[in-house]
Amino acid sequence: YIFWKILFGGLVSTLWHGGVYTQVLLVALALFVLNPVLRGLINAVRALARRVRALSRRIRFRMQRGWRVEAAELIDQLPLFEDVPEDLLSNLAGRVRLRTFRAGQPVVRQGERAEAFYVVRQGVLRVVEDDPETGEELRTLRSLGRGEAFGEVGLAEASPRTATVRAVQEAEVFELDKGAFDELLADALRVPKFAPTVQAAAELRRLPSFSHLEPDELAELLQHGEWINVSPAETVVEQGEIGDAFYAISSGQVEVLEDGVRVRTMGPGDHFGEIALLLDTPRTATVRAITPVRAFRLDREGFDKLVKDSFRKGTLNPAIALDRVEEH
């Protein structure tokens, strides 16, 4: 410093006090001399920023790798993906997103288009049925905890959401979008051991109408029926028509009309259509959807073989079965 002051101090002082023009000249000279230093500093800052970004990416990758492995393990335990090869699961895990929902926040809403499949990582969520007109909650259908999944039905069948899923407390879920889900299923369906009937049978067993059936009977039940999705205001059965099927409601609400007058409503766990099949008579009432409805439709042959005896013996909902048969 002393050397540079002795050598250039007088010149700098003269230029600085020589007026505006000499001050401008002094600044220009300073920039010219310091330019390499400034460029060096800028390059050093840029290099440091690149290193920070690279470190951040490595940290983020390691953190994501941890929860992606966790996602793969949870998905592997789901009946829907039973016997799916590890490479497909790895591909699936690489495409999931981790999302957080605060208490009371909906993950999906009833009636909206299905855009993703979800697996609960932590927290508790409620599956609720909403009033389609007011949006108010009508009832809680079930609760979901760690490792449980939802949303696959809407994606697989391209149907609207039949219920709202809302976080009870702060919750984390793994989200798989529709494109990735469809791609996985397209691959999985080409795998010989892939068995979606496991999930379907488990869903049927949760319905009171079929909870008494053995695994082999549930498999046979699937051969005689199918899941249907009904839009609000759509008629499921019409009073006076020939009865050819039995229905068990999984979600949603329907109204029962006799001669155009509503006599009752039905919801998840309820069933209808047995009267016409038991007595071999035309439909005694019209059943129409109030909300989006998901129900299992069982044909007459399947009903006669697997369910009819339970109504005859009174072991399946005896109060409803006996009273309604006597009434008609």
Position 9 in a domain: yes
Task: Give the integer Cα–Cα distance in Å for 118 and 144.
Answer: 11
Averaged confidence pLDDT in the chain? 78
Position 72 in a domain: no
Does 315 share its domain with 213? yes
Residue 302 has pLDDT above 60, yes or no: yes
Does 240 share its domain with 302? yes
Q: How many domains is the chain built from? A: 3
Residue 76: exposed, middle, or buried by beta-carbon count in 10 A (0-12, 13-18, 19+)? middle
Q: Which of 194, 225, 242 is the last residue of a domain?
A: 194
- Please tell me the predicted confidence (pLDDT) of residue 249: 93
Position 202 confidence tier, pLDDT thresholds 50, 70, 90: low
Does 8 share its domain with 34? yes
Does 282 share its domain with 216? yes
The CATH number linked to 247 is 2.60.120.10
Does 235 share its domain with 293? yes
pLDDT tens-digit map of 104-149: 999 999 888 888 989 999 999 998 888 877 878 877 877 889 988 8
pLDDT tens-digit map of 217-235: 777 888 899 999 999 999 9
In percent, the amount of the chain with pLDDT more than 90 equals 29
Q: Which of 166, 194, 222 is the last residue of a domain?
A: 194
Does 166 share its domain with 257? no
Does 176 share its domain with 226? no
- The position carrying tokens 């795998």 is 191
Out of 39-48, 80-89, 138-147, which region has the weakest mean confidence (pLDDT)?
A: 80-89
DSSP labels for 139-203?
Answer: EEEEEE-TT-EE-HHHHHHT---SSEEEESSSEEEEEEEHHHHHHHHHHHTTSTT--THHHHHHH
Position 16 in a domain: yes
Position 1 confidence tier, pLDDT thresholds 50, 70, 90: very low
Position 53 in a domain: no
| Average pLDDT of span 160-183 | 87
What's this model's pTM, rounded to 2 decimal places? 0.49
Does 187 share its domain with 214? no
- Please tell me the predicted confidence (pLDDT) of residue 298: 95
Residue 274 has pLDDT above 60, yes or no: yes
- Please tell me the predicted confidence (pLDDT) of residue 193: 39
Position 162 in a domain: yes
**Structural element, H or E, at residue 286:** strand 286-289
250 close to 294: Cβ distance less than 8 angstroms: yes
Residue 196 has pLDDT above 60, yes or no: no
Instruction: Give me the domain span that covers residue 312.
Output: 202-327
Residue 26 has pLDDT above 80, yes or no: no
- Please tell me the predicted confidence (pLDDT) of residue 263: 92
